[in-house]
A and B are shown apart, each in its own frame.
Chain A
């Protein structure tokens, strides 16, 4: 057993004491493990996380597009309303009004078609994002259970959000 006062003796002689012993560090979690005879790897969590992010970004983009199209539809409807009000107040502008109304109707028809299509795409993307999230959660849960390395940032808060 080493003398605990040795370092003071070193100090008293004007020397530099040795560095204090480091506290024991926890062992780093392994990046691979074998469960039921199957080798599992922490790299797969990264891959699943990437898929989850991509799916979520797609969903988010489509959601914005739907929002945008709804705004455009509202705007076209508002313009149509204004046109109707103007036509009611000034019957002489009949020819212009008909042409403008037809133009807005065509615009509305295009917006409605795009909206229907995007809403379907959004539903599919939301389903894919949900599945990707469930997959990632299941993978992280198993990794935690077997003590596998879990990449930073993949904590419970983010996944449960």
Chain B
């Protein structure tokens, strides 16, 4: 009788240990998913952001100069005014000013780009302070590594669930268990 009780206690401890192991694995999967989300949302380096701003400022300035109608100034008798692209289509209550505002912004960038760039750079450096920044290549590499690690964990989880099922123990899968792990043949799962 005492032996039977001892065996029962040992088996119960083993079952509790296995279920704890499964819980720990699931916590690890959750942490890995959070890490993937953090990596996806990590800001890019300030230099990259500034390079993107420079490219935008170049394009906006060029477009603005193209849009103000400099060629009209050369016409005889022209009053000398620049023209903003303000068009009011028939049926419109008010003209669409989007192009005009973009043109003014482009001219503003043309006139005082260094000042604006300096302010933007300061803001970006404040935002990035104390946070890890990731360039596109590094982000892609990190995400590929994390995805691989996540898949390995999910496969290990599925292997553990199947072993528990085979032992007749009550265990259920997560509703968001990956389909690839669910369909994986037993030989493809870690032993």
Flag if A143 contacts B183 (CB, 8 Å): yes
A110 on interface, CB distance cutoff 8 Å: no
Interface string of B145-182 (1 = CB under 8 A from A): 00000000001000000000000000011111111101
Flag if A131 contacts B172 (CB, 8 Å): yes
Number of B positions contacting A (CB below 8 A): 16
A35 on interface, CB distance cutoff 8 Å: yes
Flag if A135 contacts B175 (CB, 8 Å): yes
Interface string of A22-57 (1 = CB under 8 A from B): 000000000010011011110111001000000100
Q: How far is the CB of A15 from chain B (nearest CB, A)?
A: 53
Flag if B179 contacts A128 (CB, 8 Å): no
Q: How far is the CB of B90 from chain A (nearest CB, A)?
A: 49
Flag if A138 contacts B184 (CB, 8 Å): no
Q: Which residue of chain B lies nearest to A34 when distances are taken between CB atoms in the complex?
A: B188
Distance between Cα atoms of A40 and B188 in the complex (Å): 8
Question: What residues of chain A lie closer than 8 Å to B92, measured between beta carbons?
Answer: none
Which of these, B172, B180, B183, contacts A128 with CB under 8 Å? B172
Flag if B172 contacts A40 (CB, 8 Å): no
Flag if A45 contacts B180 (CB, 8 Å): no
B75 on interface, CB distance cutoff 8 Å: no
Question: What residues of chain B lie closer than 8 Å to A48, measured between beta carbons?
Answer: 182
Q: Which residue of chain B lies nearest to A36 when distances are taken between CB atoms in the complex?
A: B180
Flag if B183 contacts A40 (CB, 8 Å): yes
Flag if A135 contacts B185 (CB, 8 Å): no
Distance between Cα atoms of A156 and B8 in the complex (Å): 45
Interface residue range, chain A: 20 to 34
A142 on interface, CB distance cutoff 8 Å: yes
Distance between Cα atoms of A142 and B175 in the complex (Å): 15
A139 on interface, CB distance cutoff 8 Å: yes
Flag if A134 contacts B183 (CB, 8 Å): no
Distance between Cα atoms of A143 and B98 in the complex (Å): 48
Which of these, A41, A127, A130, A132, contacts B183 with CB under 8 Å? A41
Q: A39-B185, A44-B185 are in contact. Are A135 and B180 (CB under 8 A)?
A: no
A120-144 residues at the B interface, CB under 8 angstroms? 127-128, 130-132, 134-135, 138-139, 141-143
Distance between Cα atoms of A32 and B166 in the complex (Å): 22
B37-56 residues at the A interface, CB under 8 angstroms? none
Question: What residues of chain A lie closer than 8 Å to B188, measured between beta carbons?
Answer: 38-40
Q: How far is the CB of B124 from chain A (nearest CB, A)?
A: 38
Interface string of B12-29 (1 = CB under 8 A from A): 000000000000000000
Distance between Cα atoms of A48 and B155 in the complex (Å): 16
Distance between Cα atoms of A127 and B176 in the complex (Å): 13
Residues of A within 8 A of B (CB): 32, 35-36, 38-41, 43-45, 48, 55, 127-128, 130-132, 134-135, 138-139, 141-143, 148
28 CB-based A-B contacts, threshold 8 Å: A38-B155, A38-B180, A38-B184, A39-B184, A40-B180, A40-B184, A40-B185, A41-B185, A43-B185, A44-B184, A44-B185, A45-B183, A48-B182, A55-B172, A127-B172, A128-B172, A130-B175, A131-B174, A132-B173, A134-B176, A135-B175, A135-B177, A135-B182, A139-B179, A141-B179, A142-B179, A142-B183, A143-B183
